[in-house]
Amino acid sequence: MTKMTGNVKMRATDTVFGGLDSDEPSVPIYFAGESQDAASWQKHLPDTTHRWLEATAFTPKAGSHGLIPHEDGHLAAVVMGVGDGESGDPCGPSELLLGKLARSLPAGLYTIASNTKHSALAATAWGLGGYRFDAYRNSSDTSTTNARLKLPESVNHEAIRNTVEAVWFGRDLINTPASDLGPAELEAAGHLLAKQHGAKIQVITGDALLEENFPLIHAVGRASDRAPRLIELNWTPKKKTKDKLKNLTLIGKGISFDTGGLDLKPAAGMLLMKKDMGGSATVLALAHMIMGQNLNVALRVLIPAAENSVAGNAFRPSDIITSRSGTTVEIGNTDAEGRLVLADALSYADEDKPDAIITCATLTGAARVALGPDLPALFATDDELATAIGDAGSKIGDPTWQMPFWPGYQPFLKSKVADLSNTGSLPMGGAITAALFLKSFVKNADHYVHVDLYGWRPSDKPLCPMGGEPHTARALFEALKGEMLA
């Protein structure tokens, strides 16, 4: 990936996957479990390998691996410990641990030698784990070779590559510094997807937002010299069924950098604010999967993109702004800007009465205090939908945790001078009051799902090195594949 100075790229996955017709020899990877009968994973290994593993004190605990040399000095095999069969990162089958090997094995081509019913998930884990973001490092500091996996014949190669490519795309967007990724570059990402998948795209920029009645998006972004905008994609599948298509709208928070506005963040609070557009990266990654794998939905993507900056024309605490829906909003804090841009986008989406609206946003610190960095807070208007998403994510290592649209906290959003305040008066339950604020702008959609995500991995995990992560993109896609909107 080149630096994103207006030229957004989609990276190919050839660095982690071998070619379909390659005759290059591959090194087998065997799974070894503590709870397995030893013979089940050792029966394919010669006596010399057994002795080597014993001499090197290899134990099949989760995440461990042993390298088996050939008598000529080359690598003959790899044994990966899967422990008791669960990955522990953070859930799901042990095959997820294969992502760890993608970053730790020597360059070369590998193949999964053990029988597994989760071969597609294992291959996906390898691709996700092999991600690197080195666009800003000198070539002398980076490795030009990768360990590559020969995809099993039994899996859908195109689907796996598309999923990995989508997550990489989302990660690249989040990891790119705000100096090279602003509202215009998020628009470029939308154009890239539209061109690749035959979607229609339209963008409303700058003062035109006022003319088209998106006052909250305009207010949040007007202090920046990078014009705010609303990016919209529309797509329908190439092969349609006789069934009526479900209308799905995805909305991603696209705040490319958040200073906090006039309620300025402290220095430490700004260090990761390049990731405040993580919601938009998530919906773009999800959209790439939906369109790339031709899911049977009529898809609409909305990204309210802005930079929350400080200038003489910045919106102020105590300002009252009339939203697109006509609801007046008192600004209690300019650092609660994400819910403002989402409110206008939600009103716009809701006007078409879609079957479902999903918002993804790095919205509140309260969600992180409650659930930490790995568990996005999931809100849904019906428990069945939340369960479908949660179950799907748990099976593939992309978990969520359901939180309530608790109506008892709605009164805390009241303002004495406007219809709503953008900050709750209760100094607790901030993730819930923020979710309730958004839900106030949804009147017509059959289903509403809101995801409050972190968008960042603070440490290396098997499926992702430290850095940007479009949390829940895979979970939502798996749930949609399972016809959660049926």
Active-site positions read 265, 339
Beta bridge partners of 360: 252, 451
Structure tokens at 103: 């970053």
Contact yes or no for 253/346 (Cβ under 8 A): no
**Residues 64, 397: Cα–Cα separation, whole Å:** 19
How far is it, in rounded angstroms, from Cα 458 to Cα 377? 17
| 99: Cβ contacts below 8 Å, ≥ 6 apart | 125, 126, 127, 128, 129, 130, 461, 462, 463, 464
3-state secondary structure of 41: helix
Strand pairing class (75-83; 65-69): antiparallel
How far is the C-alpha of 366 from the C-alpha of 430, rounded, in Å? 5
Joined tokens for residue 215: 């006052």
Both tokens assigned to 465: 């090195």
Coil, helix or strand for 312? coil
- Residue 79 makes CB contacts below 8 A (sequence gap 6+) with 29, 30, 32, 41, 45, 53, 58, 60, 65, 66, 68
